[in-house]
Structure 1
Amino acid sequence: MHDISPLPAPSVPAASGWWTSRLQALDFAWRAEGLRWMRRGRDLVDRWNGTRFATTRSTSQDPVRAECITPLWTQHAPHEWPLTAGKVHNLRTAASRLDGLVVAPGEVFSFWHAIGAPTRRRGFVPGRELREGCLIASIGGGLCQLSNALYAVAVDAGARIVERHPHSRAVPGSQAEAGRDATVFWNYLDLRFALPQRVVVEARLDGERLIVRLRGASPPARSARPVPIELGRRPPAHDCLDCAQADCLRRVGSRPVGERVAVMPVAGWPEFDTWIAARGIRLRATGPNWPTGLTERWHRLAARACRHRPARRQRHLIAADDARASAWLARVPIEADELIVPVDALAELQRRGALGGRRVTVMMTRSPLRMLHQQLDGQAGEPTAAGLREYRAPDWRVDAEWKALRGAVRVLTPHHAVARWLRTRGLHQVGLLDWDRPAAAPSACGGTLLFPASSLARKGAPELREACRALGLPLAVLGRASESPGFWRGIEQVPLDAEDPWRGVGAVVLPAHVEHAPRWLLQGLARGLPVIATPACGLDPRTPGLRLVPAGDTLALTLALYETAASDHR
């Protein structure tokens, strides 16, 4: 290992004036730039001599060979929060670039080759950095917590340490106090190691911890020469935020802390608005007036144009959700350690590594993708179920959403079926909200059935068609989309009244396989109408006036409609 670090730091920060501080900073910058060019030249020579750096990404379920878990939020003083939050943001950004890196036999892991330059343009922000004996604010500061963890797992896995540099000072509570540390500074202070077996690096953040693992199919052999661990106590570092030297160029004064809770608003869900308002959380914007980017608008317009092509329409809707999540994320302050987001944005935020180091509350505006696929798989073989077969999300999105759900501190939903499904799969942090009930309103009852959905298989339209044919019941259909032309042929269709769609309606029926927001069913119950639905609609089974039938059971649906019609004639 070559010692290419700058000159040793003094034992204590020397008092300096305004000009002296700037001259020292200029001297450090010149020395650092010279060392960077030396590193670039040495890397070219190493590549010429056959050194290969790890660059391939993959996923792995191999056994864990080494693990290091360290806390993220170690500083709780209000004036220290911005830099601590910046450190966590930098760890979040770096871990997303490092996670899944494959280190094959004959390859060398390099911290900086894997992560790249820590610049603002690449998403890094000011964080806490140890430099020349002081904890200062620096772009990309805080990455040493990640390099310390990588060094620890490399040692535990028996790796050959190619390059490693210890800190000159010890941060209280860090790996440096135990001698298991490795400082890094772009690009000349690097951490490099190699192993004789293939391993995959796993680096991620949960709400409170940085988790680094090495996974491998077979246990790596221990290094023939164990890496020496320095046990001598190093002097503690001086914190820039508490420093009294006002003339120092690096001194960081106190600054206001940004909002700690960030909410991504959702329109049309008063249940979530009520929950947020009850906790005194202020929304910057809500409802349809929330800023919409050009990318999101284009995809939503394209989805409308593809309404007769379900698969393509679904891809555009997903892309619009991702664009909205990205636009919102750009406005989230780095100090925000709590996010409240809809499930539609979860996969994209997980993919971008935005959830690590934060407490996440998920608003379930729809079923989880895993649950949705299970609901649709049972009917995908039906001849009229083209929409069911095409209403699918990519596997990576399903896995990313599920991983984020399992890591959330709270999952909110008024949907009883969604809550039950999540709880049976080990998500005990589910909070069941009450549906927002419309005010009671009189209704001019009649003999027409209202089907408040489009004529699609996932809404139970084929089963309802067979039941109406058997009983000869008139039907009013709310939606325009249909599985095929002439879908309701042979059934008396009643047009809805333009001024009052409830005029002449005697019952509401929705035998859906998938229903996320049963607003029309709630309105029907508020008007005192009998409502026939499936458990997939998410209503409380104990609701007066509600009758539940199994999804896909035409016989049970026909019987329920017959008994409802008979009671209306009494």
Structure 2
Amino acid sequence: MNTTRQILTEKHSFIQDTKFRVKSALLTAKRLTENLFSNLKVYKDAQKLVALPVIALSESDLWNPYDNDDNWILTAGKIENIRIAARKLNGIEVKANEVFSFWKHIGNPNFGKGYVVGREVREGCIVPTIAGGLCQMSNALYDAALKANFEIVERHRHTRVIKGSLAEQDRDATVKWNYVDLRFRSDYDFRIEVELTSEKLIVRFKSTQKNLSAQTSENIRDYNKLNDCYSCGNTSCFKHPGKPTIKRSGNITTFILDEKWPEYDAYINSIATQNDFYILPLAGIKLLNAERYSWSLKNHKHVRSTLIPGVLRALKQRIASKTGKNIFEITLNADRKIAERAAQMIPVESAHIVVSQNLLPFLFTTGALGGRAYDVLMTRLPMEKLHERLDHAFNRYPESRTLKDYRASQPIIDLENRALTMSHKIITPHHNIADIFRNKAIQLDWSLPDIRPAESIGTKILFPSSLGRKGAYEVKKLAMELNLSIVIAGRAAEQDDFWKGIVTERFNGNFKEIGLVVYPAYVEHQPRLILKAISKGIPVITTRACGIEPTNQVKVLEAGDYEGFKREVMEWYSLQNKYNI
């Protein structure tokens, strides 16, 4: 009696493999010829059916619970291939009575499409192959088509059943470029939407209604045991990779980072391992303020750089600051380019992402986060909340030139909201932002500068900005009503003559003469000057928008509470014996 190894070796010999490849080539050529005379079309996202109801949904696990530790790399490759296919299928809208073809939309996956080695079921075994794993996508499409009562024009079963897959329910549809296809049609226009969460592949069909009747399929199942090239132990098999078994050494994290914050630098160093990867915008160069991106990394061998879009962003920001162009809009467009380049650099085996918030919506739209858990390093309020704050300030001060120049488009806002909702953890030292994401926020401590407290406190009032969103109008009103002189930090201002009639001086960075910091900000994401003042022991009056918790030293009020600020400043002056109140 032949042993299992002998049977498999004979089945996958060089001769048998050659026969298979020749047969595949002939069948591919035959199907190519047939397709020349078919009426198959490639459909686009016409955005006409977006609002229609979901008529069918298929949901399947990306990470098969029956996988073993030896073939995990093939599963990771499968998920990467599904990400690529999802970008080609998501949003397409198919006309009534016209045939959808899987391969017509995916195209030949073997050349220049970015597909990686995944898992393919071939003659009873799971074998490593380029673009392997696309069958999970075709399975899901077929499953949804059955639920929608679509007419199945072409469908092929797998030769074997993977435990935990849709094949167990006879709802699978294997595909092989290009002669084994999946094709179906509907009596009504329909839209296909594909989504990858960290754990699931979700396929939705939208239309006015389901078909009234459906074409049924035969109930043929085969539960023979599957073998895989990374764990079956058949080293004499022609297809065996010829190398030691690959074992999963732990979940690899890729950190997609932008400007360094000391809080995030310390956090990453506390969780990163020697196996993790880093993607930075300006790694390895010392020009263009690249020290802002000098993160403390545990393994510099695993650092990748989005150098060209990173340099272009830095140049555009410099030009915008000198020409008065909208730097926020320019930065958003440049962030998109950096994120798109970063998406191409994520290692296939990375199942966990930590990403800077400004890159999040653009990375999300590439599909690179699908099938991966991801955490977000928050660098500002969510755009929707940010706009609400700015609109609130603008309603108070419609004469402001700056309160309307900090806006993103609604599609970007929607993308960010969706991406933040699907994230696993929100990481921030900002208490106001952490409150928004209370159930999944990781609250970091603000990093106080290593500055010795002042031996004596000065008598001057410092305002850390001259912009409306930072509370410039409130400070101006305070100065006029209480006859104050103000020390002002920051170069940008509402307008050239904004402080006319008020005694002001520029802050030189020395806190020696500062006795109080007044900061009625509507928006403040990184209050570095406030933190320096706190480390010096200087009292601070600010708002919740600053993200700092109240203490005996720090008074925290609501943004726009002018009377509250006036009361606190007068109380401080009273304690300083400046006013006889």
TM-score of the two chains, using structure 2 as the length reference: 0.87
**Is it true that 1:447 corresponds to 2:477 in the alignment?**
no
Residues 26-65 of structure 1: pairs in structure 2 closer than 5 A: 26-47=18-39, 51-58=40-47, 60-65=50-55
Q: Is the 8 A contact 1:178 1:230 kept in 2?
A: no
Q: Give the corresponding residue for 1:171.
A: 162
Given the superposition, is the C-alpha separation of residues 412 and 305 from structure 1 closer, same or farther in structure 2, using an over 3 Å criterion? same
Give the superposition deviation at 1:345: 1.4
Q: Give the corresponding residue for 1:261.
A: 253
Residues 536-555 of structure 1: pairs in structure 2 closer than 5 A: 536-540=545-549, 542-555=550-563
Q: Give the corresponding residue for 2:530.
A: 521
Distance, in Å, in 2 between the alignment partners of 1:310 and 1:76 is 56
Given the superposition, is the C-alpha separation of residues 373 and 163 from structure 1 closer, same or farther in structure 2, using an over 3 Å criterion? same
SS class of match (2:354): strand
Give the superposition deviation at 1:309: 6.2
The counterpart of 2:566, out of the listed 558, 563, 567, is 558
What number of residue pairs does the alignment pair up?
546
The counterpart of 1:221, out of the listed 211, 219, 241, is 211
> Which range moves more in the overlay, 202-211 or 302-311?
302-311
Distance, in Å, in 1 between the alignment partners of 2:510 and 2:50 is 55
The counterpart of 1:468, out of the listed 470, 474, 479, is 479
One-letter amino acid of the counterpart of residue 326, structure 2: R
Q: Is the 8 A contact 1:17 1:247 kept in 2?
A: no
Distance, in Å, in 1 between the alignment partners of 2:449 and 2:321 is 30
The Cα offsets for residues 395-430 of structure 1, whole Å up to 9 and x where unpaired, read as 22211111111111111112121122234xxxx222
Distance, in Å, in 2 between the alignment partners of 1:391 and 1:308 is 17
The counterpart of 2:121, out of the listed 125, 130, 133, is 130
Given the superposition, is the C-alpha separation of residues 324 and 393 from structure 1 closer, same or farther in structure 2, using an over 3 Å criterion? same
Q: Give the corresponding residue for 1:162.
A: 153
Distance, in Å, in 1 between the alignment partners of 2:526 and 2:452 is 20
**Is it true that 1:243 corresponds to 2:232 in the alignment?**
yes
Give the superposition deviation at 1:145: 0.9
> Which range moves more in the overlay, 309-318 or 349-358?
309-318
Distance, in Å, in 2 between the alignment partners of 1:292 and 1:172 is 40
**Is it true that 1:357 corresponds to 2:376 in the alignment?**
no
Q: Give the corresponding residue for 1:7.
A: none
The counterpart of 1:203, out of the listed 186, 194, 199, is 194
One-letter amino acid of the counterpart of residue 363, structure 1: L
Distance, in Å, in 2 between the alignment partners of 1:147 and 1:284 is 32
Given the superposition, is the C-alpha separation of residues 96 and 534 from structure 1 closer, same or farther in structure 2, using an over 3 Å criterion? same
> Which range moves more in the overlay, 201-210 or 24-33?
24-33
Q: Is the 8 A contact 2:460 2:487 kept in 1?
A: yes
The Cα offsets for residues 135-159 of structure 1, whole Å up to 9 and x where unpaired, read as 1011111111111111011001010
Q: CA RMSD in A?
A: 2.6
SS class of match (1:46): coil
Q: Is the 8 A contact 2:448 2:531 kept in 1?
A: yes
Distance, in Å, in 2 between the alignment partners of 1:464 and 1:120 is 63
Distance, in Å, in 2 between the alignment partners of 1:96 and 1:413 is 31
The Cα offsets for residues 512-540 of structure 1, whole Å up to 9 and x where unpaired, read as 11111112112212212111111111111
Q: Give the corresponding residue for 1:510.
A: 519
Q: Give the corresponding residue for 2:265.
A: 273
Q: Give the corresponding residue for 1:3.
A: none
One-letter amino acid of the counterpart of residue 358, structure 1: R
SS class of match (2:576): helix
Distance, in Å, in 1 between the alignment partners of 2:158 and 2:165 is 11
Q: Is the 8 A contact 2:70 2:231 kept in 1?
A: no
Q: Give the corresponding residue for 2:87.
A: 96
Residues 414-453 of structure 1: pairs in structure 2 closer than 5 A: 414-423=429-438, 428-439=439-450, 441-443=452-454, 444-453=456-465
Q: Give the corresponding residue for 1:368.
A: 382
One-letter amino acid of the counterpart of residue 532, structure 1: I
Q: Is the 8 A contact 1:53 1:107 kept in 2?
A: no
One-letter amino acid of the counterpart of residue 419, structure 1: A
The Cα offsets for residues 296-350 of structure 1, whole Å up to 9 and x where unpaired, read as 2122221121126666312221233233334443332111111111111111111
Q: Is the 8 A contact 1:524 1:531 kept in 2?
A: yes
Distance, in Å, in 1 between the alignment partners of 2:38 and 2:6 is 37
One-letter amino acid of the counterpart of residue 66, structure 1: A
SS class of match (1:378): helix
The Cα offsets for residues 264-285 of structure 1, whole Å up to 9 and x where unpaired, read as 2454423223333333545666
Given the superposition, is the C-alpha separation of residues 182 and 57 from structure 1 closer, same or farther in structure 2, using an over 3 Å criterion? farther
Sequence identity percentage: 34
The counterpart of 1:300, out of the listed 314, 323, 326, is 314
Q: Is the 8 A contact 2:170 2:219 kept in 1?
A: yes
SS class of match (2:570): helix
One-letter amino acid of the counterpart of residue 298, structure 1: L
TM-score of the two chains, using structure 1 as the length reference: 0.89
Distance, in Å, in 2 between the alignment partners of 1:150 and 1:299 is 40
One-letter amino acid of the counterpart of residue 499, structure 2: W
> Which range moves more in the overlay, 35-44 or 349-358?
35-44
User: Which of structure 1's runs of 4+ aligned residues deviate more than 6 A?
Assistant: none
SS class of match (1:187): coil
Distance, in Å, in 1 between the alignment partners of 2:340 and 2:577 is 55
SS class of match (2:52): coil
The counterpart of 2:70, out of the listed 71, 75, 79, is 79
Q: Is the 8 A contact 1:53 1:108 kept in 2?
A: no
5+ residue gaps in structure 1? 1-10
Q: Is the 8 A contact 1:166 1:181 kept in 2?
A: yes
The counterpart of 2:488, out of the listed 467, 477, 492, is 477
Q: Give the corresponding residue for 1:115.
A: 106
Distance, in Å, in 2 between the alignment partners of 1:32 and 1:13 is 25
Q: Is the 8 A contact 2:376 2:425 kept in 1?
A: yes
Q: Is the 8 A contact 1:260 1:335 kept in 2?
A: yes
SS class of match (2:449): coil
One-letter amino acid of the counterpart of residue 493, structure 1: T
Give the superposition deviation at 1:392: 0.9
Distance, in Å, in 1 between the alignment partners of 2:124 and 2:235 is 17
5+ residue gaps in structure 2? 281-291, 296-304
Q: Is the 8 A contact 1:476 1:493 kept in 2?
A: yes
Q: Give the corresponding residue for 1:289.
A: 294
Q: Give the corresponding residue for 1:533.
A: 542
The Cα offsets for residues 82-131 of structure 1, whole Å up to 9 and x where unpaired, read as 11111111112212221212123133222122222224632211000011
One-letter amino acid of the counterpart of residue 254, structure 2: A
One-letter amino acid of the counterpart of residue 520, structure 1: L
Q: Is the 8 A contact 1:303 1:312 kept in 2?
A: no
Distance, in Å, in 2 between the alignment partners of 1:13 and 1:405 is 53
> Which range moves more in the overlay, 523-532 or 300-309?
300-309
Q: Is the 8 A contact 1:13 1:134 kept in 2?
A: no
SS class of match (1:532): strand
Distance, in Å, in 1 between the alignment partners of 2:122 and 2:365 is 32
Give the superposition deviation at 1:13: 8.6
Give the superposition deviation at 1:76: 4.6
The counterpart of 1:144, out of the listed 98, 113, 135, is 135
Q: Give the corresponding residue for 1:4.
A: none
